[in-house]
Chains A and B, each alone.
Chain A
Amino acid sequence: MTEGGVLHGRDLAVWRGERCLFERLGFELRSGQLALLVGPNGSGKTTLLRVLAGLAPPTAGVVAWNGTAIGELEPEQRGDLAYRGHLEALKRDLTVRENLEFHASLFRVSEPLEPVLSELQLEAAADTRVRHLSAGQKRRTALASLRLSGAKLWLLDEPTTNLDRDGRTLLRDWTRRHLAAGGLAVIATHQPDELADRGVLVIEL
């Protein structure tokens, strides 16, 4: 992983019809920093993450990655961002390995699969079709693709859902290592203390 970057949010607002989800939201996240999004259901955590990922435009304001507005990133720079939402983004009819290989070719990563699979205890399931996996295993596969993506900025929406205790520990370790290596992360969560222990930015919606 190369050195990180900086994520800016300026004057962000999102309206859903007549309802304002958030307004005048601004922040700056630098290399090695973690931001936690907390707030009750329906407060706009997912929406904000999708705005940061460039998947949805904000009603007002700008999100910038290394000074470039998120909607105007060059295709190459888009690979710096990794978004993992509620959906695992796995094809049910492909095996775990096929899914991960497709993901790797899409994001042009050449890291070997096996170490990540073994760390996640997915080796046995590697050639099983995703439709036969448990919810926790699917979540683990999604995490494997995140780990393999080599992205600098992680945008995770309640990543601990469906994970057992080992999985949650693993995710915390990975996040720490990611940050230590100069990465950035924005994580929406209902259990803030599970992931973070130091120096985090908390965005309350």
Chain B
Amino acid sequence: MKLPRWFHQLGSPPYVYRLIDKLGPWLGGLGCALLAIGAVWGLAIAPPDYQQDEVYRIIFIHPQTAYVGMMAYVVMAVAAAIGYIWRLKIAHAVAVSAAPIGAWFTFCALVTGAIWGRPTWGTYWQWGDPRIMSETLLLFLFLGYLALRGAFDDRDKADKVTAILAVVGVVNVPIIHYSVEWWNSLHQGPTILRGDGPAMTTDMLLPFLTTVLGFTLTFYWLLLRRLQAEIVEREGDARWLRELLPGSAA
């Protein structure tokens, strides 16, 4: 298959490294600005919820972390598949960079969920909740990926083997998600008060979307910065790197 030119350019570490140098500050700046705006807007300006009062305000953090965690898994799996199929090292580097960020966001989703759960459900942890189960299994998938990666000495082999695991995992994520939903629908038990309650009003929705966008951009910014670090590690003391980072010459 003939691949377009930009594809090859994106396969070149120096090109990507410099591109991130140009793109990064914009992405990071915009992401953090949106997060700040969303935080002030959501925490101070948006009206309290008629049912949950002030407690609901964690909605400006919690769903976003969960969504970013899942997106990170998809980004990781897609990048790993591209790396495996086209033998593109930079794609493997993207996959490696996405994994720890995704694991952290998933972890944060579980923690913020627990914090939210206490006042609304009366308990930090509810094994019966399908979302908690899905997120927990997702965290395990991330940890399995990272553990497998760490077990290899040979980076090329680690790239390829973990790519297979990531692709198998991404096929499984929807299966796990729906099976857990199905499992829950059969559980008899206390009806769980859902955090999202009735549809959001506009004055809540706007700050909500602001933080969603802010989290997304921040994720990609973190991803690209990690990718730069990963490139430096992989390229070792390539000449272009030594010219770019004179202080770091080994």
Q: Do chains A and B touch in the complex (CB under 8 A)?
A: yes
Which A residues touch B236, using CB under 8 A? 18
List, in ascending order, chain B residues with CB within 8 A of A16's CB: 154
Q: C-beta contact mask, B235-248 vs A, less than 8 Å → 1, else 0?
A: 01000000000000
Chain A residue with Cβ nearest B236:
A18
With an 8 A cutoff between CB atoms, is A17 at the interface?
yes
Q: Which residues of A contact B154 (CB under 8 A)?
A: 16-17
- Complex Cα distance A86/B119, Å? 65
Decide if the interface of chain B is mainly helix, strand, loop or mixed: loop
Q: Determine the chain B residues whose CB is within 8 A of the CB of A18 once the complex forms.
A: 236
CB-defined contacts of B118 to chain A, threshold 8 Å: none
Report the separation of the CA atoms of residues A18 and B154 in the bound assembly, to the nearest whole angstrom.
11
Residue in B closest to A16 when the chains form the complex, CB atoms: B154
B residues 151-172 touching A (CB-CB < 8 Å) = 154-155
Tell me the B140-194 residues at the A interface (CB within 8 Å).
154-155
Task: Report the separation of the CA atoms of residues A17 and B155 in the bound assembly, to the nearest whole angstrom.
Answer: 8
Which residues of the partner chain B approach A17 to less than 8 Å between Cβ atoms?
A: 154-155
Contacts of B155 in A (CB 8 A): 17
**Distance A17 CA – B159 CA, assembled complex (angstroms):** 13
**Which residue of chain B is the closest to A18 with respect to CB atoms?**
B236
Taking the closest CB of chain A, its distance from the CB of B133, in whole angstroms, is 40
Residues A1-49 near B (CB distance < 8 A): 16-18
Cα–Cα, bound, A83→B207 (Å): 65
Give chain B nearest CB distance to A69 CB in angstroms.
14
* Minimum Cβ distance to chain B for residue A58 (Å): 12
**Shortest distance between the CB of B240 and any CB in chain A (Å):** 16
CB of A47 to closest CB in B, whole Å: 12
4 chain-A/chain-B pairs, Cβ below 8 angstroms: A16-B154, A17-B154, A17-B155, A18-B236
Q: Taking beta carbons and an 8 Å cutoff, which residues of B are in contact with A? A: 154-155, 236
Which A residues contact B (CB, under 8 angstroms)? 16-18
4 pairs of A and B residues whose beta carbons are closest in the complex: A18-B236, A17-B155, A17-B154, A16-B154
